[in-house]
Amino acid sequence: MTRKHNFSAGPSTLPLEVIEQIRADLPEWQSIGASVMEVSHRSKAFSDVLEQTETNIRELLAIPNNYRVLFLHGGASGQFAAVPMNIMADKVSADYCNTGYWSARGAKEAAIYLQANEVFDATKADIQIIPDQSTWQLSDDAAYVHYTSNASIRGIQFQETPNVNNILVADMSSDILSRPIDVEKHGIIYAGAQKNVGVSGVTLVIVRDDLLGKAWDKTPSILNYTVQAEKHSLLNTPCTFAIYVMSLVTAWIKKQGGLKAVETHNRAKAEKVYAAIDANEMYHNPVDPSCRSFANIPFLLPSDELTEKFLKDATEHNLLNLKGHRTVGGIRVSNYNAISMEAIDALTGFMQNFANKA
């Protein structure tokens, strides 16, 4: 088996230990004579997995008791619609922080149900920056304030939880479980699993109890937090395999020492990549250091030809999936929890050699 260094933005590299555990659990799991993919979501074996996964997530994120943890369908994109439907109540607008593509997609979907106000646009300046909170255009009557904790395409990451006098909603798809967070400052946190938490197919939603019971009456049950909380995420068949993988990944994070430990490791890896970018004129990261992401690190080369050559040579050196998102081009290094220091060292060594040769 030759696993290469895979910097894919999502779905992404899983810890090798997790892959090996999955392989060991197939075709027979927990001595039940079948695999996890082949038994009822209401079986004792699967119920135990669901419960253990929730316990792991609660422990890792220190989630207070007045929050529900839901395992839903439809990805983060489903939550773009679920959030307004569940909590807009009689309000007609919500505030959206714009840090690029995904936050704009969230605002666009929400705009089907209410008016989505732009709080700021971090992507306007040549060097992109999250502006000081004192300049944010927050509205008094907005139903909630939405932000994307890490903009996976542009590599713009909030270093602190925003302080707002409103319900705070976060799309944490690309940095959940990669650092400790202040859950209690949020009304809702949601994230697709396919970056730091496992494989695609399950969406994690953490919602504060007092926000339940307010859903718009036309909300589909599958997206209704109150219904899903009452049914313990078993309104219908959940993505059992993805939840099982989540149980393994969360156990692996605990084994690494929890979120403080993975954050330290993630920052140490990211520092090496930024150092390689900043040491070479050929590479340019257009994000202000105050909000550079440790999770996704994009950079540009001077021409499309050089970018293509970089990607081709990188692939030949077993460094995979470094192409930037189609909307911004360039290179993107996704540095999630499962990326090893060895992978980062191989990458930064390659970056230095490539710059020296060009």
- Give the binding range for ligand PMP (CB under 6 A) out of 24-32, 70-78, 158-166, 312-320: 70-78
Distance CA 245, CA 231 (A): 21
Helix (H, G, I), strand (E, B) or coil at 156: strand
Q: Rank residues 119 and 351 by Cβ distance to ligand PMP and give the closer one.
A: 119
Distances (CA, A) of 305 to 184, 300, 301, 302, 330: 47, 12, 9, 9, 11
- Identify residue 110 by its one-letter amino acid code: A
- Give the binding range for ligand PMP (CB under 6 A) out of 69-77, 121-129, 155-163, 223-231: 69-77
Distance CA 7, CA 269 (A): 13
Minimum CB separation of residue 77 from ligand PMP in Å reads: 3
Strands (DSSP E) along the chain, which ranges?
A: 5-6, 67-72, 93-98, 115-121, 145-148, 150-151, 156-157, 168-171, 188-192, 203-208, 296-299, 319-320, 331-334
Minimum CB separation of residue 136 from ligand PMP in Å reads: 20
Length, in residues, of the chain: 358
Minimum CB separation of residue 204 from ligand PMP in Å reads: 10
Residue 247 has, within 13 A of its CA and on its CB side, a CA count of 19
Name the residue number minimizing CB distance to ligand PMP. 75
Q: Which structure tokens are listed for 82?
A: 């679920």
Binding of ligand PMP by 29 (CB under 6 A)? no
Q: How many residues bind ligand PMP (CB under 6 A)?
A: 11
Q: Which residues pair with 191 in a beta bridge?
A: 204
Distances (CA, A) of 342 to 1, 121, 318, 319, 348: 17, 36, 12, 11, 10
**Catalytic, out of 29, 95, 175, 195:** 195
Backbone angles phi, psi at 326, to 5 degrees: -60, -25
Q: Rank residues 174 and 178 by Cβ distance to ligand PMP and give the closer one.
A: 174
Binding of ligand PMP by 173 (CB under 6 A)? yes
Minimum CB separation of residue 358 from ligand PMP in Å reads: 31
Binding of ligand PMP by 298 (CB under 6 A)? no
Minimum CB separation of residue 9 from ligand PMP in Å reads: 6
Binding of ligand PMP by 152 (CB under 6 A)? yes
Q: Is 102 a catalytic residue?
A: yes
- Contact pattern for ligand PMP over residues 104 through 123, marking x by CB under 6 A: --------------------
- Residue from 13, 148, 178, 247 touching ligand PMP (CB under 6 A): that is 148
- Residue from 69, 76, 87, 188 touching ligand PMP (CB under 6 A): that is 76
> Considering Cα of 116, then 119, then 123, then 124, what sign does the dihedral take?
positive
Q: Tell the burial category of 40 from Cβ atoms under 10 Å away from its Cβ (0-12, 13-18, 19+).
A: exposed
- Residue from 12, 93, 174, 240 touching ligand PMP (CB under 6 A): that is 174
Minimum CB separation of residue 111 from ligand PMP in Å reads: 16
Residues that bind ligand PMP (CB under 6 A): 10, 75-77, 102, 148, 152, 171, 173-174, 192
Question: Residues with catalytic annotation?
Answer: 102, 171, 195
